Amino acid sequence: MIQPKINQIILKTISILYIILFVYTASSKLINIDQFYYQIEEFPFISRLGIWITWGIPIIEILIAGLFLFPKYVLTALYASFSLMSLFTVYIFIVLIFGDNIPCSCGGVISTMGWREHILFNCVFILFSLIGILLIKFRNKHLLNKNTT
C-alpha cells in the first residue's frame, strides 16, 4: 500500500499535469478557433458536427481542469479525463484506419507530434488517470476499513 503522503503527491502531480494539458490545449484551440474549426471540418465522421466540436471540446477541457481544483471533484475529473483521452485515442485509431492525411487539430506544441507519438502521449495520460482513480479508490477503501475497525 502506498503511504498517504506519497499518494497525495502522486494525485496532486497527476491533477497538475491534467490542468496544464487541458488549459493549454483549450487555450490554443480558442486562440486559433478558425483554424481549429477548419481542421475539424476536414475530419471524417465528425465534420457535420464541426461547430459543436469546435466550441465543445475546449469548454469541456476547461471544465475538467476546473474540477481538478476542488478535492471533492478530483475523482470525477479523473473519470472525465480518462473518458475524454480514451475517446480522443480511439478516434485517432479510427481516423488512421479509415482516413487519409488528417491534420492534427490539437493545440500548440502537441499538434507537432506525429500520430504514433500522439497515441503514446494520450496513452500515458490515460494511464495517469487510471493511476489516480485507483489511488483514490484504495485510499477511500483504506479509510472506510480504518473507520469500521
pTM of the model: 0.86
pLDDT in tens, the chain (149 residues): 568 889 999 999 999 999 999 999 999 999 999 988 888 887 767 778 888 989 999 999 999 999 999 999 999 999 999 999 999 899 888 878 877 666 666 666 777 888 888 899 999 999 999 999 999 998 887 666 666 65
| Amino acid code (one letter) for 28 | S
Residue recorded with cell 476536414: 42
Polymer length in residues for the chain: 149
C-alpha distances out from residue 47 to 10, 31, 76, 85, 147, Å: 38, 20, 29, 20, 52
Nearest CA-CA partner of 11 in 125, 130, 139, 135 = 135
pLDDT of residue 135: 95
Angle, helix 33-42 to helix 4-31, in steps of 10 degrees: 90
